[in-house]
Structure 1
Amino acid sequence: MYLRKTAALLTSVLMLTALTACGSSGDKNGGKDGEYVLKIGEAQGALCHAPLQVAMENGYLDEAGIKWERVDFGKGDIQAALGAGTIDCGFGLVGKFVQPIDNGLNMVVTAGMHTGCTKLLVKSDSGIKTLDDLKGKKIGVSSLAGSECVTAKRALHEAGFDISAESKDVEFLVFGVTDQPQALQNGAVDAICTPDPVATQAEKEFGLDVLLDTAVTEPYASEYCCVTFVSKELAEQHPDVAAKFTDACLKASAWVAEHPDETAKLQVEKEYVSGDPAANAEILKSYQFIPSVKGGQEALTNVSRDLKTIGMLQDSTDPDELATRSFKKFEGVPDSYKTEDGKLVAVE
């Protein structure tokens, strides 16, 4: 396996150095696809990144003939790393990418990987039973620009809330993901919108009520939350590498669907996530790992339209045009894969 773990310290100084010293992703290794070393960004603790982790660990990238290295971020800003050229590609929640793309981030989405992975939780004795009951309340999120905040804003807007910064309908407060359950217990917030595995772990440990679960609550349950992405430079200058990366992740997602227990065990053994593999496997089983290129494009379009409606995009932005220019379908990559008789079969 061609694998070299690198630690990326995402300070502005180092990212500026990477950008000025290395140039764009297209400049590395003479511009030849066969020589190019793909820099794959990965954040620690991301249970739902299972397809990307499996693509790296189970050999799907190697089988495609890609030379690659994994760039670990801990809790770093993957969008900033992409913009600085520290990475070429990665995996993440589509909700947190749309606004940065609108502001000029050099990213294109390439496929949808799965549904689910975010929950809006309240204490069982809070008296809050529906989204309407959150009027005037405080919600804890990891970032005001993060996907969890975007999900909450989309749902609350649909429920009739004014979620503009000037509104008093609801207030969003920032806490680290692992700090959110305690903030809820201490009364610092009235609800938290947070990703798995923290969401499900907190739900069980504290007996929390679920107001929204993107794995089961429509329309989010039918919408891909996590997607693969590549830089515009990679898509334009090394399209074959970008296509092979996308294809490998599609295959890996289909494999995860059939092997959630093995996936959860691999994630813990390879130190991508912590926790009990059996418990993590149950969370993975609640998602729909049915990868789809078309599904990724549809999710990008849906989120872009919603963010335009609720005022999170620039006034001049056409959401459909944004979704069109920030999505890339590569020739030779099928829409999906499924398992038949123990083998992965392409689905067009």
Structure 2
Amino acid sequence: MFGAARALTASGTGSLSYIPGEPFICRAATNSEELQGPPRQLKIAWNANAACTVAAAVAKERGIFAKHNLDVDFVNFGGSTDQLLEAIATGKADAGLGLALRWLKPLEQGFDVRITAGVHGGCIRLLGSKAANIDSLESLRGKAIAISDQASPAKNFFSIYLAKKGIDPAQEVEWRQYPANLLALAVDKGEVQALAEIDPLPYLWLKEGKLNEIATNLTGEFADRTCCVLAIRGSLARSEMPVAAALTRSILEAADRVANDPADAAAIYSGYGGRGSLEDLATMYRSHTHHRHPVGAELKKQLLLYTDELRAVNVIKRSTDPAKFADRIYLDVLS
């Protein structure tokens, strides 16, 4: 079922990933292509409450955007993913950060938006009720899992993960939708036996001691996968490649800073309304892979793998060619 994914997992040929501390000069715009003149103004669409987009806030608050001659404003976007991608494609925003497993299905519609970098992995968790003895994937057969929406990246990821482990995510578990902040309460009340969500909520709930962590999106073969990605309006990337490169470099430099100083990232995220104590948030960020942000052939391979896996669980259309789709939605701006 996951034939294309299996075939590519073993192949590292042509892979490329940004190495923390390594200069980008060999893959990105040369000095002669660096942005000149007044700072280039850009708008980035994001969700300020999402822990996984903290690299953007770090880039702004610690002067990384400014260093790359960018003047960035944020557009806090609470609408659907389709609306967010349409806003980028039509110029209401220039770029956005979000989760690949939420964006791939809408990108199938053909929005002129190009992914330029993976930012990190590790922010999606599956937690089981200790009271209901849910401590493994096998114990989830015939049980209900709380999710915040039916197209959530948590549902998409764990549908893939369950299927790979021989559990039919459509027939052998039930997905029940609740408001995100009520998922743990639904488990407490016994309405469901597990929950799947993106940080910070599941990390904070895990600390309360009533839930087991069954898996994350770094478990097993997914240890090196990215989840959060940067995407830029296609017309901007084509007409102003140095701007797209400067923005991508800024986000990756900021992600590296999150990895090296998670306490500072926690303080910045908290300042944007993030919930949780600074100590808890810093520990949460240490559990993510902000030091690993793939670009180039490695990222394109990951997008292909996700597409193939989403086809296998009937999220992406079976007629979609994963390799052609990855070619269409990814753009290398750093070579």
The two structures have a TM-score, normalised by structure 2, of 0.82
After alignment, is 78-87 or 48-57 more displaced?
A: 78-87
Q: 1:319 aligns with which of 305, 316, 322?
A: 322
Q: 2: CA distance between counterparts of 1:238 and 1:100? A: 25
Assess if the C-alpha contact under 8 Å between 1:225 and 1:299 holds in 2. no
Larger deviation: 290-299 or 48-57?
A: 290-299
Distance in 2 between residues matched to 1:213 and 1:265, nearest whole Å? 24
Q: Identify the match of residue 82 of structure 1 among 82, 85, 100.
A: 85
Q: CA–CA distance in 2 between the matches of 1:204 and 1:187?
A: 19
CA distance in 1, matches of 2:211, 2:68: 44
Aligned residues: 295
Matched, 1:132 2:134: no
What residue in structure 2 maps to residue 254 of structure 1? Answer: 256
Correspondence for 1:68 among 68, 72, 97:
72
Which one has more relative contact order, counting CA pairs under 8 Å at least 6 apart?
Answer: 2
Give the one of 300, 303, 309 matched to 2:303: 300
Select the residue among 182, 202, 207 that pairs with 2:205: 202
SS, match of residue 224 in structure 1: coil
State the 1:231 CA deviation. Answer: 2.0
Task: Work out whether residues 55 and 61 of structure 1, in 8 Å CA contact, stay in contact via their aligned partners in 2.
Answer: yes
Cross-structure match for 1:278: 279
Instruction: Give the Cα–Cα distance (whole angstroms) in 2 for the partners of residues 274 and 322 of structure 1.
Output: 36
- Please show how residues 1-348 of structure 1 align to structure 2 within 5 Å: 37-73=41-77, 75-84=78-87, 85=90, 86-164=92-170, 168-215=171-218, 217-268=219-270, 270-290=271-291, 291-294=293-296, 295-332=298-335
User: Aligned with 1:105: secondary structure?
Assistant: coil
Contact 1:227 1:296 in 2 (8 A): no
Change (3 A) 1:272 1:231: farther
Match of 2:12 in 1: none
Letter of the structure 2 residue corresponding to residue 47 of structure 1: A
Q: Is the 8 A contact 1:119 1:194 kept in 2?
A: yes
Question: What is the CA–CA distance in structure 2 between the aligned matches of 1:67 and 1:172, rounded to whole Å?
Answer: 42
SS at match of 2:74: strand
**C-alpha distance after superposition, 1:85-120 (max 9, x if no partner):** 332212111111111111223322111111201110
Q: Where do 5+ consecutive residues of structure 2 fail to align?
A: 1-35
Take 2:167 and 2:314, find their aligned partners in 1: how far apart are those partners? 13
Report the CA distance shift for 1:143/1:33 in structure 2 as closer, same or farther (over 3 A): farther
CA distance in 2, matches of 1:266, 1:77: 25
- Runs of 4+ with >6 A deviation: 32-35
- Give the direction of change, closer, same or farther, for the CA distance of 1:70–1:208 in structure 2 (3 Å limit): same
Instruction: Quote how far apart the aligned CAs of 1:127 are.
Output: 2.4
Question: Post-superposition shift, 1:218?
Answer: 1.3
CA–CA separation in structure 2 for the residues paired with 1:222 and 1:96: 18
What is the TM-score of this pair, normalised by structure 1?
Answer: 0.79
Letter in 1 for 2:68: A
Provide, for residues 21-59 of structure 1, a one-character-per-residue CA deviation record: whole Å limited to 9, x for no partner: xxxxxxxxxxx9968531101212211212111111111
